[in-house]
Structure 1
């Protein structure tokens, strides 16, 4: 049976576009990119709250093969990432492959026909190869506080921002103090009459060395691309040192981790005047247990007279406000939910995927262990490339992960073509060896050697495993992704 497409990719963010670029380089052009939103860009289309910006320097948070010399700042605002996504889609002729407003409900491998059947809201598509690029943070978490449905004011989740909502004259409250909230809280504090920040877990925040990139420097980047490659290399090296020595090799390099925590504490002390507030904003877990972030304005916001920090847990929501466990009631006109995303319950995978012999990927992961060979393929799921998988996230920039997976695809499809085959499937032995390797490497990390009990980190799944990050340096990961043994797969 001839399928409708050679490849179906789910997701038109940077992961899906990277996969499509690599496939087109390999000569595969019959590609359908299915996107549930109404435009491309993934998280940079969905998110458009005030203060949105990258928290990794833009010279690193971009494709290495498609540098953008015209970033306005070292940490570019979100609108520029959206523009960059548009540029990439235009340059690599991706838009003609994209279909928006298309929600994928299930995907099932047909062993007799050796193809995937992908069910969407409008019918069934078939494809030879199936790629999931739904992102790590694509399924928003909405807390089910008692009484939240009775709230009479406005509720805004950061992933469904109401453009034009100004907060002027309002009593606002925000639940959450993760990376999104760190960017958003200073913006709301400038506009609202009152702002209450409900914090469950404090976050490590370090100074943000951010500045406008002068037009002259942009011209140099454009005319002499080597200069921007140097800037990328320097920034990547700094991130690598933070990741490898501060997080992955915590047991061997505890002083480095302690130094990072001291920098964050000094930053907090320099910016927040009140001692009790400083104490409440200081994490009780080790640096790196939860993803840290950068900001020069977040801590200072708590000095404002219209901003208060609430650390008591939420008991219930009433029509006009929030009641905490200690009996205090906070009156609220607009409630902002910066409550993050649900990774391990609904995002791995983001919809039902059925492989060979009826194996349900989500159920298999949850009943056993979360695992994927090289963070991209899974036994019993032929011709499936799962870009957002356990142990796939490499380094601190998502683009490191994407480009590593592109290298893996290049080698895998090259071998497929050399053998004249159409189907690949990773062997159980290769998958088991990889799982044992990453499990062993993680034993030195802060996740298993540090104090992470109070972090409530999305790095950990329901089995208590830190199964998101690949515990290798960026260079070794990229090398392994393009040099893995070809006999790790069966071909037919």
Structure 2
């Protein structure tokens, strides 16, 4: 018999949205749970992203756990290593290192109809878990550009997530492909040290001011000594960002408000990019909110340095020491950085088999869905948190991990109180919730904004956004309706 590990609850993931469910389990007194992750430590995207200049573009007052508000942040927008250290500190404080198996990737999961548990295969051992919670994140599957001739290229070629240890770019001619969140952070850092940086931009982004503040010793001392201020600051930022995100997503502002907001963005660009020709290349032609806007104060100035060239088109091929643009322009380079980001979360569902033997992805046929972003028909005792679930994202990436467990625990408590071994959402409830969600989001900028983005599914629906505010999600997660679920008996 092959080796296996039995556990009541198996959590897959090691980022913020996996840490919070595990913490909340521990606080409930639950000890029979394991965590598995393909990564080597806690931290999620902040563990794997180590490229120069990697910082959070959301104010840290809002981008941290409500149960671990810290006064130790060194700036308003911490670097990746500081954010990863915070997440590891939280994991250590709540004893999660005793529950985790690192370097353990979920390869497949199937429901055992007779034993009523999930059989999870990994690159290490097999797990048998009564409950399976997938917290694999919004950004789990790397996206690579279509480049011909990669086998010919003699220089460095790597995705930004796979930044070579110790590589600084000093003295090199570097091509950076992409100007989304990672690209706009990498370019200013490479500009400082590279011989030349060639920035390939297929589509310009809406860039907002970051206004990053590095805290002085006096400010750090004040923040450490005033926890009430930290709570107040967090509450204010949450309320502000929740409204801004909702307005951008649903175009809910009046025409005058839209014009005023656009004028601020245009003024920011005009102030930092005086050259009208360059500014035109950097001006998006789609609605704000169609793509995730990025905040930076450094990208525009870096483009105007003598050792930086903006190529307003994509790259299509490589030669031995050359990269070629879609119009046939050739540039000699020593390194190519693919800052091309990720596919939207949910790839994990290609590895999960429903009770009928098909994978979730096969069954859903390009129209991703989950009841309240949490439960899947055909998958008893399985729950999704954040990016793993369709429409599980709000502007605050940490929020689902704190909010969704309340719903999961309500299901678990109901099952215990009623002697139910396996519980599964009814397919009609899953379908109805997704239909309402699609209708709400059909008017959102992501759908009608006039851009190509990674948040639309194959059927053209928004598969990423929660259909409301973060507070709406909080209320929904507090409302478990047992009649939306059905018990599943042995052999079913």
TM-score bracket, shorter-length normalisation:
over 0.9
Helix, strand or coil: the match of 1:356?
Answer: coil
Tell whether 2:468 aligns with 1:472: yes
Tell whether 2:52 aligns with 1:50: yes
Helix, strand or coil: the match of 2:193?
Answer: coil
1:41 corresponds in structure 2 to: 43
Superposition pairs of residues 451-490 of structure 1, within 5 angstroms:
451-452=449-450, 455-490=451-486
C-alpha distance in 2 between matches for 1:350 and 1:490: 22
Deviations 1:457-482 (A, max 9, x none): 11212221112001212212101111
Q: Is the 8 A contact 1:359 1:380 kept in 2?
A: no
Superposition pairs of residues 339-350 of structure 1, within 5 angstroms:
339-343=340-344, 347-349=346-348
Tell whether 2:426 aligns with 1:427: yes
C-alpha distance in 2 between matches for 1:369 and 1:418: 35
Q: TM-score, normalised by structure 2?
A: 0.94
Deviations 1:194-216 (A, max 9, x none): 10000111111011122123444
2:294 corresponds in structure 1 to: 293
Q: Is the 8 A contact 2:366 2:457 kept in 1?
A: no
Helix, strand or coil: the match of 1:190?
Answer: helix
Tell whether 2:211 aligns with 1:209: yes
Q: Is the 8 A contact 2:175 2:197 kept in 1?
A: yes
Q: Is the 8 A contact 2:438 2:461 kept in 1?
A: no
1:280 corresponds in structure 2 to: 281
C-alpha distance 3-37 of structure 1, shift in aligned 2 (>3 A): closer
Unaligned runs of 5+ residues in structure 2 are: none
C-alpha distance 192-12 of structure 1, shift in aligned 2 (>3 A): same
2:402 corresponds in structure 1 to: 403
1:232 corresponds in structure 2 to: 234
Q: Please tell me the root mean square deviation across aligned C-alpha atoms, in Å.
A: 1.8
2:111 corresponds in structure 1 to: 109
Helix, strand or coil: the match of 2:118?
Answer: strand
CA drift of 1:315 comes to 3.4
Q: How many residue pairs were aligned?
A: 483
2:392 corresponds in structure 1 to: 392
2:269 corresponds in structure 1 to: 268
Unaligned runs of 5+ residues in structure 1 are: none
Helix, strand or coil: the match of 1:148?
Answer: coil
C-alpha distance in 1 between matches for 2:453 and 2:483: 36
Deviations 1:248-300 (A, max 9, x none): 2x156444444333222211111113211111111111100000011111111
Q: TM-score, normalised by structure 1?
A: 0.94
C-alpha distance in 1 between matches for 2:308 and 2:165: 22
C-alpha distance in 1 between matches for 2:195 and 2:349: 39
Deviations 1:214-236 (A, max 9, x none): 44444444444221111111111
C-alpha distance in 1 between matches for 2:374 and 2:242: 22
C-alpha distance 408-221 of structure 1, shift in aligned 2 (>3 A): farther
C-alpha distance 436-191 of structure 1, shift in aligned 2 (>3 A): same
Q: Is the 8 A contact 2:13 2:136 kept in 1?
A: yes
Q: Is the 8 A contact 1:202 1:280 kept in 2?
A: yes
C-alpha distance 128-298 of structure 1, shift in aligned 2 (>3 A): same
C-alpha distance in 2 between matches for 1:378 and 1:215: 50
Deviations 1:295-347 (A, max 9, x none): 11111111101100002333321111112232221111011110111237xx4
CA drift of 1:376 comes to 1.2
